[in-house]
Amino acid sequence: MTISDPGHHRSRTRGPSLDSADPFAIHMAPPEGETPAARAERLAAQQYAEKMSRQIDEQILQSKRLHDKKDKDVKILLLGQSESGKSTVLKNFRLRFTPQYFDSERNAWRTVVLLNLISSVRSIITAIENEFAAPEFNLVHDSHRTLCAELAPLLEEEVTVNTLISATPNVPPGQGQDVFVRPGGEWKSVLANSDEAKHAVEVVFGLRDEIDSLWADTAVRELLEKKDVSLKDGGGYFMDDIARVTAEDYVPTDSDILRARIKTMGVEEHFFEKEVGAPGARGVKDFWIYDVPGAKGSRAVWIPFFDMVQAIVFLTPLSFYEVLEEDSRVNRLEDSVHLWKEICANPLLQNCQIILFFNKMDILKAKLKAGLIIKEYVPSFADRPNTYAGATGYFKEKFRAYHKRSSPKPRAFFYYETTAVDTRSTAKIIGAVHEEIFRKHLHESILI
Q: Check whether 83 is labelled as a binding-site residue.
A: yes
Q: Is 264 annotated as a binding residue?
A: yes
Q: For residue 258, say whether it is annotated as part of any ligand binding site.
A: yes
Annotated binding-site residue? 232: no
Q: Is 360 annotated as a binding residue?
A: yes
262 carries a ligand binding annotation? yes
Tell me whether residue 2 is annotated as binding. Answer: no
Q: Is 336 annotated as a binding residue?
A: no
The answer to whether the annotation marks 17 as part of a ligand binding site is no
362 labelled ligand-binding: yes
Residue 110 annotated as lining a ligand binding site: no
DSSP bridge partners of 317? 359
Check whether 295 is labelled as a binding-site residue: no
Element (H, E) at 283: none
Query: Whole-angstrom Cα distance, residue 53 to residue 55?
Result: 5
Alpha-carbon dihedral sign for residues 168, 173, 178, 182: positive
Judge whether 361 is annotated as a binding position: yes
Q: Are strands 287-291 and 74-80 parallel, antiparallel or unpaired?
A: parallel
- Return the amino acid letter for 309: V
118 - beta bridge partners?
none
Question: Is 259 annotated for ligand binding?
Answer: yes
Instruction: Show the DSSP H helices in 12-105 as ranges.
Output: 23-28, 36-72, 86-97, 99-104
Binding residues for Mg(2+): 87, 264
Binding residues for GTP: 83-88, 258-264, 359-362, 420
Binding residues: 83-88, 258-264, 359-362, 420
